[in-house]
Structure 1
Amino acid sequence: MASNPPGKCCTTGFKHEGTPTGKVVKVAGKWDAYVASPPADKAHKDVAILYIPDIFGIWQNSQLLADQFASDGYYTMVIDILNGDPLTLDQFGTVDLPKYIEQGSTGDNPHNPPAIDPIVKAAIKALKEEHGVKKIGSVGYCFGAKYLARQFHKGAGIDVGFFAHPSFVSEDELAAICGPLSIAAAETDSIFPVDMRYKSEEILKKTALPYQINLFSGVTHGFAVRCDLSDRVQKFAKEQAYCQAVAWFNQYLL
Structure 2
Amino acid sequence: MEQASEAKPFCIHCVSGDIIPGTPRGTEQTIGPYKVYVTHPSSGAPADPAKVIVSFTDVFGLELVNNKIIPDLIADQTGFTVYVPDMFHGDSIAQDAVKGMPSTAKEAKAQSFLTKVTKFLSTLKEESGAARIGAVGYCYGGKSCLVFNARGLVDVSVACHPSFINLSDIKSLKGPVLFNCAEQDDVFPTSLRESGAKALGDRHDAPPHEFKVYENTVHGFAARPNLAEPLVKKAFEEALEATASWLKAHL
Whether the 8 Å CA contact 2:97–2:106 is kept in 1: the answer is no
- Map of 1:15-54 to 2, 5 A cutoff? 15-29=19-33, 31-38=34-41, 39-41=43-45, 43-54=47-58
Whether the 8 Å CA contact 2:49–2:129 is kept in 1: the answer is no
State which of 183, 188, 210 in structure 1 corresponds to 2:179: 183
1:220–1:134 CA distance, 2 compared to 1 (3 A): same
Residue 180 of structure 2 aligns to a residue in which SS?
A: strand
Aligned-pair CA distance for 1:44:
3.5
- Map of 1:12-161 to 2, 5 A cutoff? 12-29=16-33, 31-38=34-41, 39-41=43-45, 43-58=47-62, 59-72=64-77, 73-86=79-92, 94-98=98-102, 102=105, 111-113=109-111, 115-154=112-151, 156-161=152-157
Partner of 2:250: 252
Aligned-pair CA distance for 1:40:
4.1
Q: CA RMSD in A?
A: 2.2
Aligned-pair CA distance for 1:102:
2.9
State which of 156, 168, 174 in structure 2 corresponds to 1:172: 168
Whether the 8 Å CA contact 2:225–2:232 is kept in 1: the answer is yes
CA distance in 2, matches of 1:34, 1:70: 12
Aligned-pair CA distance for 1:127:
2.4
Partner of 2:223: 225
Aligned-pair CA distance for 1:52:
0.8
Partner of 1:107: none
CA distance in 2, matches of 1:74, 1:17: 23
Q: If the length of structure 2 is used for normalisation, what is the TM-score?
A: 0.88
Residue 134 of structure 2 aligns to a residue in which SS?
A: strand
Cα distance per residue 1:97-149 (max 9 Å; x no partner): 436x7379xxxxx6331x21232212211321111111111011111111222
Aligned-pair CA distance for 1:42:
5.5
Whether the 8 Å CA contact 1:6–1:97 is kept in 2: the answer is no
CA distance in 1, matches of 2:46, 2:73: 13
CA distance in 2, matches of 1:103, 1:87: 8
1:171–1:36 CA distance, 2 compared to 1 (3 A): same
Whether the 8 Å CA contact 1:174–1:200 is kept in 2: the answer is yes
| Count of residues paired in the alignment | 242
Aligned-pair CA distance for 1:194:
1.3
Same amino acid, percent of matched pairs: 28
Cα distance per residue 1:184-208 (max 9 Å; x no partner): 1111111111111111111222342
Whether the 8 Å CA contact 2:36–2:85 is kept in 1: the answer is yes
Aligned-pair CA distance for 1:93:
8.1
Cα distance per residue 1:37-84 (max 9 Å; x no partner): 224425234111111111011120010011112223111111122221
Whether the 8 Å CA contact 1:8–1:92 is kept in 2: the answer is no
Cα distance per residue 1:149-202 (max 9 Å; x no partner): 221125x42000000111111222221111100011111111111111111111
CA distance in 2, matches of 1:81, 1:175: 25
Residue 139 of structure 1 aligns to a residue in which SS?
A: strand
Whether the 8 Å CA contact 1:187–1:219 is kept in 2: the answer is yes
Task: Identify unmatched segments of 5+ residues in structure 2.
Answer: none
Q: If the length of structure 1 is used for normalisation, what is the TM-score?
A: 0.87
Task: Identify unmatched segments of 5+ residues in structure 1.
Answer: 105-109
